[in-house]
Amino acid sequence: MKKYTVAVLGATGAVGQEMINGLQERKFPVGKLIPLASSRSAGKTLKFNGEDVTIQLACEEAFEGVDIVLGAAENDIAEKFAPAIVKAGAIFVDNSSAFRLDPKVPLIVPEVNPEDVKWHNGIISNPNCSTIITMTAVNALNSLSPIRTMTTSTYQAVSGAGAEGPVELMNEVEALREGKTYQPKVFSHQIAYNLIPQIGGEQFEGYTSEEMKMQNEGRKIMHLPELKVSCTCVRVPVVRSHSISVSCHFDIPVTVEQVREVLAKAPGVKLVDDLANKQYPMPLDTSNQDLVFVGRIRPDLTDDCGICLWCCGDQVRKGAAINAIQIAELLIEK
């Protein structure tokens, strides 16, 4: 089997570390791993397949001889190094939002639009975490009738804000238990015992940038340019795994039985839908694995052509790192 030189840009962050773990777990054919990070981490080592690998400084020269770059860095870093990556002949699978809506860059969820990998020009974008989880959950329903509109609410774990998110939640819980005050630094308000109905800044008609991703990215991924999505994004005091409430609206009536049958066979999906026995997707059950759990399937009582469902998925794994590795797997398959 051919081996590939793989670089991870942003190797020391939560997503970068999960990418490295995922490459090992999925036995990706890595001939050489090149972890890249800032000068703060360069020179340190990490374990990969039982061996110590030295973290290198992220610079333009670092991509020479690399086949695939998995990006786990912020937009500015992705934009800075993308030209050098492409010039070096590597393929950049980028987890930032820098290129997601660029018409020349594929935006891929492998269970939804794997064929789009064929038209890349050196850069492929990984979608937003909540978008990946939702698209994986609902895409198969397009076989019943094209989805025309969706109303969604996301309940996003604190780890979605980075490694400091869970730390702040735990610190607040401890401070409150001791009767002390705690000044939030990561979130705009106290997150312990609270919900914050804003993720991202205002972008359009009172919707935030995070909320608009569900529509704009969903259109591109599912090849539904007229799709309309009304989304509300909420930060919740959950450590890991995002949850999404979805109401899908179709051209024709779709039954609960049809939806269950389709989702039971859908790639990347695990059907967990037994209300009588209290079986439904929950963040604790969906963390540290790569399937999207779907349940609470029921008719939308406001629309004869609507279906409601609830889904959960690990936003660090399937919502970021593992989806990127699955894209890389598509690249070597095709």
Query: Which residues are catalytic, by number?
Result: 129, 242
- Estimate to the nearest angstrom the gap between the alpha carbon of 242 and the chain centroid: 9
Contact between 272 and 251 (Cβ < 8 Å): no
Contacts 24+ apart (CB under 8 A), 96-103: 96/71, 97/125, 97/128, 97/213, 98/125, 99/123, 99/125, 100/125, 100/127, 100/128, 100/213, 100/217, 100/220, 101/216, 101/217, 101/220
Query: What residues contact 11, with CB distance under 8 A and at least 6 apart?
Result: 17, 19, 20, 35, 36, 37, 41, 46, 55, 72
The DSSP code sequence of 67-84 is: SEEEE-S-HHHHHHHHHH
Helix (H/G/I), strand (E/B), else coil: 296: strand
Task: Tokens for 35, please give them.
Answer: 């972890």
Which token pair is 110? 């492998």
CA distances from 67 to 74, 124, 194 (A): 21, 14, 45
Q: Return the beta strands (E) in 101-161 as ranges.
A: 123-125, 147-156
Phi, psi (5° rounding) for residue 94?
-105, 130
Helices (H), the chain: 14-25, 75-87, 129-138, 164-177, 209-222, 256-265, 283-286, 322-333
Task: Look at the alpha carbons of 278, 282, 284, 286 in this order and tell me if their dihedral is positive or negative.
Answer: positive
Q: Do 151 and 218 contact (CB within 8 A), yes or no?
A: no
Q: Looking up tokens 């996301």, which residue turns up? A: 154
**Strands 207-208 and 292-299, bridge-based pairing:** unpaired
